[in-house]
């Protein structure tokens, strides 16, 4: 009779959950990286806008240009703050997904180790049974030889 792990179906489900959690972590990681990239682009746009100041370039100052630049800079800074909040939320989501992945991995490992232990116990029992059967066969042969 072959080894049969009674929790095999549970282990199979837990492995599927682990795979799903792995995909979720990968998606959260991609989202987090996109947020970081968006933040980087906004920071670069702010740097370019500040570097393009008319006074910094030695150009004549025009009030309309200064107001337009100030409005643009404020809008970019507001966008940066909003992007930073989105990035923090993405980081928290990534951390949450990683914790779920760790828990799923732990669940699979517990069942896998239990299966290994049960298999080892089953194999040891099979060896004991086989040894007992061989002893019985040997005893029967010895008995026949004594009788003849």
Q: What is the DSSP letter of 7?
A: T
Give me the pLDDT at residue 53, please.
61
Q: For 40-94, how does the pLDDT look when each residue is reduced to its tens digit (9 = 90+)? A: 999 999 898 888 765 555 666 678 877 888 899 999 999 999 999 999 999 999 9
Give me the pLDDT at residue 64, please.
83
Q: pTM of the full predicted structure?
A: 0.75
Q: How many residues does the chain have?
A: 148
Any idea which residue has 């809008």 for tokens? Answer: 75
Any idea which residue has 């992945």 for tokens? Answer: 101
Residue 95 pLDDT greater than 90, yes or no: yes
Q: For residue 108, give every residue at least 6 positions away whose Cβ sits within 8 Å of its Cβ, in sequence order, or none.
A: 11, 14, 15, 18
Tokens at residue 55, please? Answer: 């006074």
Q: How far apart are CA 108 and CA 125, in angstroms?
A: 25
First-to-final CA distance of the chain: 36
* Residue 39 and residue 91 in contact, taking contact as beta carbons nearer than 8 Å: no
Q: For residue 62, give every residue at least 6 positions away whose Cβ sits within 8 Å of its Cβ, in sequence order, or none.
A: 54
Q: For 10-38, how does the pLDDT look when each residue is reduced to its tens digit (9 = 90+)? A: 999 999 999 999 999 999 999 999 999 99
């Amino acid at each position: 009779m072959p080894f049969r792990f009674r929790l095999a179906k549970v282990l199979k489900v837990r492995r599927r959950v682990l795979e799903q959690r792995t995909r979720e972590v990968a998606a959260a990681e991609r989202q987090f990286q996109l947020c970081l990239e968006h933040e980087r682009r906004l920071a670069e746009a702010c740097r370019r806008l500040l570097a393009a100041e008319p006074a910094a370039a030695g150009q004549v100052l025009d009030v309309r240009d200064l107001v337009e630049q100030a409005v643009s800079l404020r809008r970019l800074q507001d966008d940066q703050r909003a992007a930073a909040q989105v990035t923090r939320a993405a980081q928290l989501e990534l951390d949450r997904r990683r914790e779920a992945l760790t828990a799923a991995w732990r669940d699979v490992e517990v069942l896998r180790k239990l299966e290994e232990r049960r298999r080892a116990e089953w194999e040891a029992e099979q060896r004991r049974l086989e040894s007992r059967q061989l002893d019985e066969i040997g005893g029967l042969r010895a008995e026949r030889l004594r009788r003849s």
